[in-house]
Amino acid sequence: MSENENNSGDEQSNYETPATTSEAAGTPSGPELAGRGRRLGAYLIDLIIAGIVLGVLAVMNIGISLEDVARDPMTQQMSTAGSIAFVIIFMAINSYLLVTKGQTLGKLALGIRIVDVASNGAATAVKLLGLRYVLVMLVAVIPFIGGLLGVIDFLFIFRSDRRCVHDLIAGTKVVSNS
């Protein structure tokens, strides 16, 4: 008798391997999805770094003033000039890492990266820079619509695949480096 015949009636022959976090989230055989907390932490790190640079430039009055950075008391939004300056600063700081590693400084610090959802490989520069960041950031400066998009984008993180609106637009997902 072979080993398979001896175990054919055992429960082990019907055993299925439990799904990993990434498989459960609909990304078969891909890297593990980054946790929501690490994604939020990376976002906050990026926001703080770009905000500090923007603040320093505004205080020094280099290309932008403090008035451009101040929030409007009615809309609670930064001026259009301040918002565009923020996008430019963010992209200047993070573009190289995004294109070469799929990471911003915050994602690098927390060990997560952006990949193409279909291939689990590197996402193109157009997807990363154009769709995932610049397009979404430019829409975000539109009064009311930008704020609404921000809330909806944030809430999408609670989907099972943890992909926000900007991930869906660009065809990307955020995964752990491990």
Q: Quick one: CA torsion of 173, 174, 175, 176, rounded to 10 degrees?
A: 180
Main-chain phi, psi angles of 129, to 5 degrees: -80, -50
Inside any domain, residue 8: no
Per the prediction, the chain carries an average pLDDT of: 79
Inside any domain, residue 112: yes
Which pLDDT belongs to residue 15?
Answer: 41
Using CA atoms, how far apart are residues 162 and 86, in angstroms rounded to an integer?
A: 26
More confident residue, 125 or 143: 125
Inside any domain, residue 67: yes
Inside any domain, residue 9: no
- Residues 69-83 have pLDDT tens digits of 665 555 555 666 777
Using CA atoms, how far apart are residues 51 and 162, in angstroms rounded to an integer?
A: 26
What is the residue range of 160's domain? 32-176
Inside any domain, residue 11: no
Cβ atoms of 99 and 127 closer than 8 Å: no
Q: Is pLDDT above 80 for 170?
A: yes
- Residues 95-129 have pLDDT tens digits of 999 999 999 999 999 999 999 999 999 999 999 88
Nearest residue to 94 (alpha-carbon basis) of 105, 86, 79, 82: 105
Q: Considering its fold, how many domains does the chain have in total?
A: 1
Using CA atoms, how far apart are residues 161 and 169, in angstroms rounded to an integer?
A: 14
More confident residue, 45 or 30: 45
| Measured CA distances, 14 to 9, 39, 83, 124 (Å) | 9, 37, 57, 42
Using CA atoms, how far apart are residues 117 and 175, in angstroms rounded to an integer?
A: 10
pTM of the model: 0.74
Which pLDDT belongs to residue 89?
Answer: 87
Inside any domain, residue 73: yes
Inside any domain, residue 40: yes
- Residues 46-96 have pLDDT tens digits of 989 988 888 888 787 776 767 666 655 555 556 667 777 888 888 899 999
Residue 10: pLDDT band with limits 50, 70, 90: very low
Partner residues linked to 114 by β-bridges: 174
Using CA atoms, how far apart are residues 25 and 46, in angstroms rounded to an integer?
A: 26
Inside any domain, residue 38: yes
Using CA atoms, how far apart are residues 35 and 63, in angstroms rounded to an integer?
A: 37
DSSP string covering 2-13: -HHHHTTTSGGG
| Measured CA distances, 36 to 26, 68, 98, 110, 163 (Å) | 16, 32, 19, 12, 10
